[in-house]
Amino acid sequence: MAAGNIKGLIAALRKAYPDAYCSLDHADPFQLLMATILSAQCTDERVNLVTPALFKKYPGPAEMAAAPLAGLEKLVHSTGFYKNKALSLKEASRAITENFGGKVPRTMEELLTLRGVARKTANVVLGSAYGIAAGVVVDTHVKRLAFRLGLSRHTDPGKIELDLMKAVAKEDWIWFAHALVLHGRAECDARTPLCGKCPLEKLCPKNGVK
């Protein structure tokens, strides 16, 4: 997509989703990290149903690290892959407690040392909890829309992220990913995109835009 069309895309997204934000309910960086780990291959809506009871019982990293694994598995069961997710919650919390003084790290490098954390999760936490634009969140919606809108031809999330970081101004990275997620849910569905009512229709490559 040409630079001029990128500006048009950003403007259209700004108009449609001016207040785009993270849809995972959280009160602090720790809760956001745990919720994002749970959101892998699971809807944010489902995660938001699970986390209130989880955080009430285990409100901080020390409590989560000391939690019985079976108890965690029961609480997060409905998010899928519950055994692996429960272990990630426990081990990431243990590392935060032992290695980072009970505080969720504020750098990509440190976050990536935690079990269950890859770049997507780290970008969510840095962007939405700390306001740090270290990269662009690439989830299933962002991946799909980046391809459909001609922003990337790659399938690897890391390469898609690099393409988006080059195409979009850094000050827009955090908001931009949230906006694409909202647009993917509202209009640009994987199976039946609502092209006729899409605010980005005139900028979409299917209409010949390069």
Residue 70 CB burial class (10 angstroms; 0-12, 13-18, ≥19): exposed
Residue with tokens 């001016």: 18
Which is nearest to 203 in space by CA: 27, 16, 70, 19? 16
Residue among 85, 90, 120, 143 flagged as catalytic: 120
Residues 6+ apart with CB under 8 A from 170: 133
Point out the catalytic residue in the list 44, 90, 139, 143: 139
Give yes or no: 172 in active site. no
120 flagged as catalytic: yes
* Residue 93 near residue 65, CB atoms below 8 Å: yes
Q: Computed over its alpha carbons, how large is the radius of gyration of the chain?
A: 18
Contact 111, 157 (CB under 8 A): no
Q: Are 17 and 178 in contact (CB under 8 A)?
A: yes
Q: Is the dihedral of CA 151, 152, 158, 162 positive or negative?
A: negative
Contacts of residue 147, Cβ cutoff 8 Å, sequence gap at least 6: 153, 155
Which residues are tagged catalytic?
120, 139
